[in-house]
Structure 1
Amino acid sequence: MINYTLKQLKYFVAVAESGNVTEASEKLYISQPAISNAISQLEETLNTQLLIRHHAKGVSLTPAGKEMVSYCRTLLSHAEEINGYMIQHSTLISGTINIGCYASLGPIYAPKLIQGFTKLYPEVNFKLFEGDIEELNEALVTGKIEMALMYDLNNNCQIESTKLAKISPHVLLSVKHPLANRKKINLMALQDEPLVLLDLPHSNKYFQSLFEQYDKNPFIKHRTKSIEMLRSLVANGEGYALMNAHVKSNTCFDGSELISIPLSDYATPISLVISKVLGVKLPKRCEAFLEFCIKNFNLDNK
């Protein structure tokens, strides 16, 4: 077991090179008693005398001390190399970012963000984890992921978030629906229509809460955790759906078509955020990715 310190080795080498404690003290800006005590502790730990103290004439090295000083210089040099490497590594944007994505957001935003960031920093790669908000919270707290792209529907006191954008809900309808040509739609125009609900934790409650201003409960015909299943059900006339994230294409996997129409009702926008564990300092690569996301969404919102 190693019980000596780099500080003790540094003081010993300084005294060995200076030939006396006084000069070493001046060079290191350390008091003479502190240096003397450190070297005495080193000798005690090694059970070996390293210096011969000459009263008022400085010190000289014992045979063991002469051999030891060479090893100490090598060890201190390696320690400096390690320190330099860690300083360089802490500023280099490289390595793996473990990121989580809310299931309904990941396909819409994550690929573009990842592709744009890796163009700037080719030494970075990503490891993706998809889940609902509860699964992302657990992955953050347990260290499985470092950050997560999600909606700000979180009440976990261990998680803190940075807002990227505000997204208002909209209605999805089949292109064949009688209301498909409207520029905006009021929820009451759909009160007798079947709802296809995105049945993910927190999201399902959020969408159902939109009806509370009318003291109504929606008629839920289908529940699904899959965005594409939801879109296909809507496009095939199985009902309407509510979403926040905007999918660019109106064509579903089976070739059927749907349309997205803004709500005319008052609805509090939901925030898109990057979340991490409260108080945890992110690696440089993650901090850089967070800044990239903020700038990317600022540009999109201009």
Structure 2
Amino acid sequence: MFSKREYEYVMEIAKEGSFSKAAQKLYISQPALSGAIKKIEKELYGISLFDRNVNPVALTPAGQYYLEKTRKIYELSNEMEQHFAELAGIRSGVINIGSSGYFCAYFLPEVIRGYCRLNPKCRINVTETDISGMDAGLRTGQFDITMDVEALDPEMFESVTLGYEYMIMAVPASFAVNEKLKEFQISRESILERSFLDEAVRAVDLSKVSKEPFLMLKKNQDSYKRSMDICAHAGFEPKVIMYFDQLQTAYNVARSGQSGIIFFRDALLKYTEKTEKLCYYKIGDPLAKRAILLSMKRYPGVGATVDDFIKYILLAKK
């Protein structure tokens, strides 16, 4: 009456609210997924797990009960598997991570590939979400850990600092204001090497760009809040002409050379081509520095495999 695969099928449909979307995420056909759910329902004396007459598809009370109980069985099964794998000196099990689009796209793939090469029996699932989704996912057990720059409730969650990132200002090279800022310009190399953090490197006078157009991430994001506060500390409110979901998109638009100024995270330059269409500047405001946090529930805590993965990430960041 229980298998890990069937549990994952029910959980994915409940999460997506759609058989077709869940099938895509699970890499199976929709008819195969529908057939698997009908098989489960047949074994449960014909009781429906989903209300298929509503959009999005929703769990019935029986479906909610099934998912709640099978989640406990699933977790216990993973715990037993991990226990005996550890006795044998093998790391195994499933690690579920929630993170923002930037870390999902750039940082996590390389780390996950490296860890899975060492631990081929371990499977790692990554879900892109915002900070509210990370909070909810940790609370419900959907995620074992999350990675982001926004802090979660310290009473409920424990956070480990992986390192720090720094916001840089990029101005399209075509903007005349660069002439006024020439003495503050820093090179791409100094950002990649982080030599721009030396106290001898001067921070830009942000008041000189108070009349220029800006590009920002959307208002629910930490980068937006910090950028607005940094400008406020410099004595002006930026004229925002466009808002974006993703930092990479905003950076590429700025790089087009005709749009606006952007504040971006310094590590992004590792993943972008060198360009002459942007001029870079150090930001002196303390808000330009922010911690990269790995968060998890305080109680009951993470299992041995997740703990081992966290240690691996910490070593990878050094």
Judge same fold: TM > 0.5, yes or no.
yes
Find the counterpart in structure 2 of residue 246 from structure 1. Answer: 267
Find the counterpart in structure 2 of residue 28 from structure 1. Answer: none
CA distance in 2, matches of 1:106, 1:222: 24
Between stretches 180-189 and 205-214, larger displacement belongs to 180-189
Task: Find out whether 1:89 has 2:100 as its counterpart.
Answer: no
Find the counterpart in structure 2 of residue 22 from structure 1. Answer: none
Give the conservation status (yes or no) of the 8 Å contact 2:82–2:93. Answer: no
Between stretches 153-162 and 131-140, larger displacement belongs to 153-162
CA displacement 1:203-227 (0-9 Å, x = unmatched): 3212211123223211111111122
Relative to 1, partners in 2 of residues 1:219 and 1:85: Cα closer, same or farther, differing over 3 Å? Answer: closer
- The 5 A counterparts of 1:222-301 are 222-236=242-256, 237-244=258-265, 246-247=267-268, 248-251=270-273, 259=278, 261-268=280-287, 269-298=289-318
Give the conservation status (yes or no) of the 8 Å contact 1:150–1:273. Answer: yes
Give the conservation status (yes or no) of the 8 Å contact 1:149–1:273. Answer: yes
CA displacement 1:90-120 (0-9 Å, x = unmatched): 5531122111111233212111111121122
Give the conservation status (yes or no) of the 8 Å contact 1:231–1:258. Answer: no
Q: Tell me, which stretches of 5 or more residues in structure 1 are unaligned?
A: 1-82
CA distance in 2, matches of 1:185, 1:104: 26
Find the counterpart in structure 2 of residue 189 from structure 1. Answer: 208
How many matched pairs?
213
**Shift of residue 295, structure 1, vs aligned partner:** 1.1
**Shift of residue 258, structure 1, vs aligned partner:** 5.0
Alignment-mate amino acid for residue 123 of structure 1: K
Find the counterpart in structure 1 of residue 98 from structure 2. Answer: 100
CA RMSD of aligned residues (A): 2.7
**Shift of residue 245, structure 1, vs aligned partner:** 5.0
Give the conservation status (yes or no) of the 8 Å contact 2:251–2:264. Answer: no
Larger radius of gyration: 1
Question: Going by fraction, where is helix more abundant, 1 or 2?
Answer: 2
CA distance in 1, matches of 2:153, 2:206: 27
CA distance in 2, matches of 1:215, 1:188: 7
Give the conservation status (yes or no) of the 8 Å contact 2:207–2:235. Answer: no
Give the conservation status (yes or no) of the 8 Å contact 1:174–1:234. Answer: yes
CA displacement 1:120-175 (0-9 Å, x = unmatched): 21221211101111111111111111101111443464222100001111123335
Give the conservation status (yes or no) of the 8 Å contact 1:169–1:262. Answer: no
Q: TM-score, normalised by structure 2?
A: 0.60
Paired residue for 1:171, among 169, 172, 177? 169
CA displacement 1:231-250 (0-9 Å, x = unmatched): 22211221011122522243
Find the counterpart in structure 2 of residue 212 from structure 1. Answer: 232
Q: TM-score, normalised by structure 1?
A: 0.63
